[in-house]
Amino acid sequence: MKLKKPLLYAVIAGVNALSLTAALALTLTGGAIARSQSYNRSAEKWDRDGESTQISCFFSEDAGFTTDSVYALRAEMQSKLSSAINDPNGKLPETPDAYSTPIGTGYVTADSIKNAEADITAVGGDFFLFRDFKRLSGAYFTEDDLMQDGAVIERSLAWKLYGSPNVAGQQIYIDGAQFYIAAVIDDPTDKYEKLTADENPRVYVSYDGAASLPQVQYSAENGGYGMDGGSEAPAKLTKITCYECIMYDPVENFAYNTVNKYLKNMYNGRYSAVNNTERFKPSRMAKAYKKRPLLAVRRDTLVYPYWENASRIAEFKLAPMYFWRTVCFVLPIITAIWLIWQGSRLVKRNGLKLISAVIEAYKKAVYRRRQKKANI
């Protein structure tokens, strides 16, 4: 039994309304998940004009990417930018970058003799520019500091040691090595970050500061873990497992292709590069739906920090959301095309009648307006 036209049109309108409502709901939910992974939006904070791209690179333990490698990569990026921009004044946009590596777990002791176990990460460059940490007290250390003995600790560790987050300037000892608390940051609050972060609180120290830690000293003596040292030279941490940069993008994908091509030639199979700026775009996520299992199963030996693992979970969630969001738009688009086609047929068949009707309606409206003024 065929549906009557009015009922058929009502059903089509209802299904279209449901499709658009579902698409809107998926868009809002997906947008909230993407915004929660704020570390991927460092380029937005750095370049308000939106002309730069954030790129993150992750390396295996044996990749051999070191602090010396950073200088070579910086030179490559500046060379490519110079060729692409060809500025007669010789000025190039800044390319801030950062690097880090986990050192391991250590015991942190306060002057109060209280101690707690914590995960230690060595950081360099503009590391805190790329992190959306909520700073509770103090100020971040930088590479320009005269003394490199500052440490940034999480709120939970500050409470364990001193019973307060307002302890910037206080002394701590990491496995016996003395540091001062440069800043206290909040613990991870995003649900994905809390899921991927270890239970231990975190401590961040500079690469130079890490040289005083027993873990680095021991590794240097044994010639391992990308650390240089020995009896004639002090220990020096050189290994990098995470590198990040914000690069000016004169054309689409220029920055990502520049970094990825260089690393592929040097570290093929031992690294992964991510375009953070484009990462959660709906079109990209919809296409990634078929590759979703690869997001859940890691077959590589790369070292991912907790904030990257959190973003990978977000990708796993977003891929099906944006795929079905795209599907929800199919029927409304088909309906819109059908309505346009029907409208064109109507105009073609009754074009002159419609034009005459419009002109007649306009004349009547003008006549009524004049009559109304005459009566006044």
Nearest residue to 170 via CA among 188, 149, 156, 190: 149
- Residue 351: per-residue pLDDT: 64
Q: Regarding predicted confidence, which is higher, 262 or 48? A: 262
Q: What percent of the chain shows pLDDT beyond 90?
A: 50
Q: pLDDT tier at 231 (50, 70, 90 boundaries)? A: very low
For 77-92, how does the pLDDT look when each residue is reduced to its tens digit (9 = 90+)?
999 998 888 766 667 8
- Is the pLDDT confidence value at 5 over 90? no
Exposed, middle or buried, 213 (CB in 10 Å: 0-12/13-18/19+)? buried
- As a whole number, the mean pLDDT across the chain is 86
- Residue 289: per-residue pLDDT: 77
- Residue 222: per-residue pLDDT: 46
- Residue 28: per-residue pLDDT: 93
For 139-186, how does the pLDDT look when each residue is reduced to its tens digit (9 = 90+)?
999 988 888 899 999 999 999 999 999 999 999 999 989 999 999 999
- Is the pLDDT confidence value at 206 over 50? yes
Rounded Cα distance, 313 and 196, in Å: 9
- Residue 1: per-residue pLDDT: 47
- Residue 339: per-residue pLDDT: 83
Q: What is the pTM of this model?
A: 0.82
Three-state SS string over the chain comes to CCCCHHHHHHHHHHHHHHHHHHHHHHHHHHHHHHHHCHHHHHHHHHCCCCCEEEEEEEEECCCCCEHHHHHHHHHHHHHHHHHHHCCCCCCCCCCCEEEEEEEEEEEEEECCCCEEEEEEEEEEECHHHCCCCCEEEECCCCCCCCCCCEEEEEHHHHHHHHCCCCCCCCEEEECCEEEEEEEEECCCCCHHHHHHCCCCCEEEEEHHHHCCCHHHHHHHHCCCCCEECCCCCCCEECECCEEEEEEECCCCCHHHHHHHHHHHHHHCCCEEEEECCCCCCHHHHHHCCCCHHHHHCCCCCECCCHHHHHHHHHHHHHHHHHHHHHHHHHHHHHHHHHHHHHHHHHHHHHHHHHHHHHHHHHHHHHHHHHHHHHHC
- Is the pLDDT confidence value at 200 over 90? yes
8 A C-beta contact, residue 66 and residue 219: no
Across 272-296, average pLDDT: 83
Q: pLDDT tier at 109 (50, 70, 90 boundaries)? A: very high
